[in-house]
Amino acid sequence: MPRKKTCFVVSPIGEPATKTREQSDRVLKDIVRKALGRLGYLVQRADEIAEPGVITQQIVDRVMKADLVVADLSSRNPNVFYELAIRHATNRPCILMIKRRQKIPFDVRSLRVIQYELADPESLKKARVELKKQALSAGKVGTPLSFAIDVEAFRDSRDATMRMLAEIYATVADTRRILEREEARLRREARLWWKQKAEEEERRGWQRRYEK
């Protein structure tokens, strides 16, 4: 019998009977297992590991060796980002998810992220379709970490062309970071401007009412 493909889910888990656990369970059941189970994946989350041994070592082992990792970035859980960094270092398939209307962290903003809303059946359906689509096309992935590793390898190459490519790649990456920071700054300034404008309009409204 052929070996089943494995998918390890990295997500905030929380204690039993908490809101975090409830959300994590629903993501696992209503999105990940429904989408990937049909593709023949054996889906597992850290709290489902039943083997004896050191749990952190077992988690890292699965993060590194699973055929696919699905990482839920919702609530910016530190453990999730730690395990995501380990997976990115392997340069193996990893699919990112986040709850709708939550801000996608800067360092992974350039990657494809599936957004979902547990209270919206249509959103769940779209998330399952997109997850299945990405899983079917999963292969070697480009991540900020793997990109940096590749650039360093190019820099150490004896081939002058490869070294030149490394400098070009690094310049492009630096330019992108500058543009993203500038975009974030402009967005902050725009939000502040609209807030000040709204406050000013409110003050004028109160003044007009007072003058009457």
130 and 100 Cβ atoms separated by less than 8 Å: no
DSSP letter (8 states) at residue 103: P
**For 109, how many CA atoms within 13 A lie in the half-sphere containing its CB?**
13
3 SS3 class? coil
pLDDT at 143 over 70: no
pLDDT tens-digit series, residues 149-201: 666 666 777 777 767 766 776 776 677 677 777 877 888 888 888 888 888 88
